[in-house]
Structure 1
Amino acid sequence: MKKLDTQSPDFQAELKALLAFETAQNPEIDRIVADICADVQKRGDAALIEYTNRFDGTSAQTIDDLILTQDDLQSAFERLPENIQTALKTAARRVESYHKHQKMESWTYEDEDGTLLGQQITPLDRVGIYVPGGKAAYPSSVIMNAMPAHVAGVKEIIMVVPTPKGERNDIVLAAAFVAGVTKVFTVGGAQAVAALAYGTESVPQVDKITGPGNAFVAAAKRRVFGVVGIDMVAGPSEILVIADGTTPADWVAMDLFSQAEHDEIAQAILIGTSQAYLDEVQAAMNRLIETMPRRAIIEASLGNRGAMILAKDLDEACEIANYISPEHLELSVENPQEWVKKIRHAGAIFMGRYTSESLGDYCAGPNHVLPTSRTARFSSPLGTYDFQKRSSLIQVSEQGAQKLGKTASVLAHGESLTAHARAAEFRLKD
């Protein structure tokens, strides 16, 4: 891992270089995705079947071969060992409970002339969630994307998940059952995103698409945005740990590994206020790496984008954290509730030495779909509010129309919009 010191005259330049990540779109991927999306939009189910057979090595003859029903999902759940069933239900229950607190409610008020103003909250009608397949199996992603939609009141939750060589993952399908998914299509890639966005003869068009995917999925989500809503186009996973030296070094080392093992471009950063403690964590990492099945990935990640930063104190550490705006921030310090007040930008904040980031990934309750690549400066975790809409309510009283009509008339004439002005003036008594 790179070693940075805030007292170095080159620190800011080094930090900026550390955080730099090439997010430019790949023209070749964009071209392929554009062709796939256009073809699915034109040929519907036929194109979806063709691309699924080609890219996933399946042999579907009809779209029915790619559809799973509620009964299929329940059967997958019942095939699992009891401990996995319990874990899925526990995680879903905790995520549901947390997201109920986020649910927005409609409100109104009347001003002094009897005009009613307010906001009406309604759920989206139908959403699509993308779940990675193949080598990756992420039942947690199913729960984190489907459960807030369920809490929001979305009537239909359509899930797409690729099944390379036709292999279906029971844990992923069981998670869909537990989280209230309506129907599953065993398709993936850009073709799945296009099917959700435009609709086919069998795949219903959705209002919003959420969930992670590879570069082709990300490019497809960018392309269909505007036709449908999307959650975000996420970058590599990242963690920043601020440690005051009171947490066992092994714990912090493993927390850094927990993000580094995602892939070679994930980012893990540790900020400490003691060089001796940073050295202790490094020694722990050197020892523990021998036990990691994904050692090669972890070493590549830490070598490519990892760093240890020596700060003069926790105040400075918090300011650095605000600049980094990490996806996951661990405050592994004494009195974390005091230090969290200094944090302005982070996707999720894990407070105290017992709060490992991995608990948030699976079962703590808050969503693990979080802003990456410094976008926590202006965006938020996925939540119930992402599956609700706000409509403004305006009911002007006769008395209110006299006052508001004159104001609107003046402003409309100022914009040379005569019909706007006359529409308000017609309602005036004098």
Structure 2
Amino acid sequence: MASPSEPVNHGNEYGVAGRRAGVVLSIVMAGLLSGCAALPASGPTAGAFVGDVDETAVQWRNGYLLVPVSNNVLAYQHEEPRPSFRGLASLALPADTGVGIGDVVQVTLFEAGVGGLFSSLNAGGQGSSSVALPPQQVARDGTITIPYAGRIRVAGSTTATIERRIVAALKDRAIEPQAVVSIAEGNSTAVTVTGDAIAGMSVPIPTSGLKILQLIARAGGPRTPIFETAVSLTRGGRTVQMPFSELVNDPNEDVYVRPGDVVLLTRQPRTYVALGATGQSAQLPLQGYEMSLAEALARVGGLNPNLANPMGVFVLRREPGAEMLARYEGTAFERVPPGDPQAALLSGDVPVIYRFNMREPSGLLYAQDFKIHSGDMLYVATAPFVPVKQVFDAFSGLVSPVLSTANSAATISTRLSN
């Protein structure tokens, strides 16, 4: 122990402490650098996708096809198949199917003079030579009842034909009879609209015809956003479905419905997923069939300027294996016997990863022309410096308190020495 008369060397003590802190910090720094792989990340790096070969080459890697996008790739791309209602229905007004079983018809009878079967006098002595029969529903045998004429067959006949039959049945009983027939309720001509995106109901088809959009409007319209709604038409055991936005945008798809049709509206958004070093990671709806990669990136805020690797922008999709084999045989694939497992692997859809280099002006142009499909995944890799930056950020967080302590100790030592 130092005697009271001996001065205490505080600077030495704190110098030793500072050296020890430096050794500890060096060890911590080495540990952080060696543990870069364990640091948080948004996903695989661009190198994990590409490997150590030519970055411009089409590669078959670990069960997926890596395709750097070029003008040749854009020339091969095709739009998603667009379904059409015109294979089921027509833009022409359907033929009149006439009165059907279950319809409610209204019949009014006229005579040429007062005093006939259907004449009447009111309280003022004025005569009437017509009578409106009560509405009646067409029976299962397809007939209705007309006074003095009996049962008249009406099912399957137009109103004009029914009028002629009634007149023929009454011509020997009434004074020059005439008849007017109208459909009060067209139950047999109803078409059903239903689904989780609309209030379901059965809508009779008027004589003027009814198109799909008119039918949907009469049912109150869709209850979900237009780009998240799908509409399907079922007729004769066949069903065609398309996005509601396509029906609205293409008048040629607004076809006439027929009795017995079923129109279904459901919430089925066509979406893509954005992950990685973008402005946001989200699942977003595709607005129509013509959305480009540039538009898809813009909707998620583009590339994150602090994290993104502009040379590592990828679109993940499944493509027909036969088409990919025919396109890239000799470059990414070699022909194998039919029984080879590789041939079986390419018999269905295969994972394809399209790569874009946004550091080059051509990459930006390709992004404008490359079409995003429903179900695509857009991924942006992090830049190579990001793990190192994370290490230094962590190191800075550890060093700052130690340096602060060392500065405080140095200040105290100086004051004690003085």
TM-score when normalising by structure 2? 0.22
Larger proportion of helix? 1
TM-score when normalising by structure 1? 0.22
Larger proportion of strand? 2
> In terms of Rg, which structure is larger?
2
